[in-house]
Amino acid sequence: MAILATGGAGFIGSHTCLELLNAGYEVVVIDSLVNSSEESLRRVQELTGKTLRFYKGDTRDAALLDTIFTENEIEAVVHFAALKSVPESVKMPLEYYDNNLTGTIELLKAMRRNGCKKIVFSSSATVYGAENKCPFTEDMQTGTTTNPYGTTKLQIERIMTDTAAAEPDWHVVLLRYFNPIGAHASGRIGEAPGYPNNLMPYITQVAVGKREKLTVFGNNYPTPDGTGVRDYIHVVDLAKGHVKAIAFVLDHAGTEIFNLGTGNGTSVLELIHAFEEVTGVTVPYEIGPARAGDVAYSYANADKAKRVLGWQAELDVRQMCRDAWNWQKNNPNGYE
Ligand code: NAD
Ligand code: UFG
């Protein structure tokens, strides 16, 4: 019996495949490589000494999905595959809705056709919107999203919840990630964006000399130092959370939601300074205007995952900085 990871070659997917293999699961991956490289999977196999099965293709390809379900005994699916750039989604909403929504609907239909109704989904803290107050708890009403990417996450949560309500033999786990950063301790797998939209890959690209300086998006937020506060979570902790979520989804019908965060907030300036301290590298920055759609605070109440899944984050922000830097300096051009 195997776990199918859609988007398994990506940043979070590759780290999760590694943890699933180490936990003894067989792993099958479908990835279109639209935002990743097969090299990540080669390295996952090298690091674990185990093999996984890779299909290059799109989750909107119903025939390919049927082939995968026929050729493998898939017990459950972890659904990472999505386009994830907030600014790109504002420019290309149709492509985002098609890739993320159609890709999910085709996947769910293929799962049903093939008798596999257990799924763990990569959702985001963005579904809490600006209306809710931190720390976010899973029972809060979801908020208003500010971009097409975030809207796809909200809509997919709804599609899966409705499906599980209509057909009680579905097992659905919605994982709301906070801000995943860092990399595997080996420095062999990590986050490899072209142009970085997110804070940590921007910091590491400035530190390695690929960008001149970082722009801090606003310092007038109602936070202690005026910069945005986020719940950064080490990608290895996040990956281990998926192993717990898979174990849970195998024998729990219905829909269950879990925040995957640390419960701690860190400001932009605190993250820059932590990075400088642990690496000894200076990160030049300037203060710029606030970025549209950003909230002042986003951090989790992570109690439910601890109570129900027996999972909690273990690595702190300093370790996240150390590992992000170790990956960046050993792989200045990602997987190229
Ligand atoms: P990523 O881009 O590194 O990984 C996504 C993978 O999916 C890529 O390998 C890409 O090639 C693949 N893919 C995209 N569309 C596909 C399709 N239609 N068919 C097959 N493969 C496809 O991103 P990531 O950071 O690893 O994120 C994984 C998931 O977690 C995504 O769903 C993302 O929206 C979600 N998420 C990420 C963050 C974050 O900050 N990284 C936060 C919250 C949620
Ligand atoms: N920031 C900067 N400069 C940069 C990049 C980011 O100051 O160059 C700031 C942002 O304003 C924010 C913080 O750093 O205060 C974190 O920004 P990120 O872009 O790293 O992360 P976000 O919290 O904006 O977004 C993340 C995911 C999204 C998800 C969202 C949900 O990347 O996929 O969380 O809250 F939708």
Question: Which residues form the pocket of ligand 1, taking CB atoms under 6 Å from any ligand atom?
Answer: 6-7, 9-13, 30-36, 58-60, 80-84, 99, 103, 122, 124, 177, 179-180
Q: Whose CA is nearest to atom 21 of ligand 2?
A: 198
96 is catalytic: no
- Concatenate the DSSP letters of all residues of 250-263 into one string: HT--EEEEEEES-S
Percentage of the chain beyond pLDDT 70 is: 100
3-state SS, residue 76: strand
Q: Is the pLDDT of residue 15 over 90?
A: yes
Q: Is the pLDDT of residue 298 over 90?
A: yes
- What is the rounded CA–CA span in Å between residue 79 and residue 74? 13
- pTM greater than 0.75 (yes/no): yes
Q: Whose CA is nearest to atom 30 of ligand 2?
A: 126
Mean per-residue pLDDT for 255-280?
98
Instruction: Provide the pLDDT for residue 228.
Output: 98
Q: Whose CA is nearest to atom 4 of ligand 1?
A: 10
Instruction: Provide the pLDDT for residue 71.
Output: 98
Q: Is the pLDDT of residue 194 over 90?
A: no
Instruction: Provide the pLDDT for residue 336.
Output: 87
List Cβ neighbours of 176 (8 Å cut-off, separation of 6 or more).
Answer: 123, 124, 125, 127, 128, 136, 138, 257, 258, 259, 260, 300
Q: Ligand 2, closest atom to CA 228?
A: 15
List Cβ neighbours of 76 (8 Å cut-off, separation of 6 or more).
Answer: 3, 4, 116, 118, 119, 120, 171, 246, 249, 250
E strand or H helix at 154 = helix 148-166
How many CB atoms sit inside 10 A of residue 162's CB?
A: 11
Catalytic residue among 96, 128, 149, 299: 149
Mean per-residue pLDDT for 114-127?
98
Tell me: the pLDDT tens digits for 200-223? Answer: 999 999 999 999 999 999 999 999
Q: Ligand 2, closest atom to CA 221?
A: 15
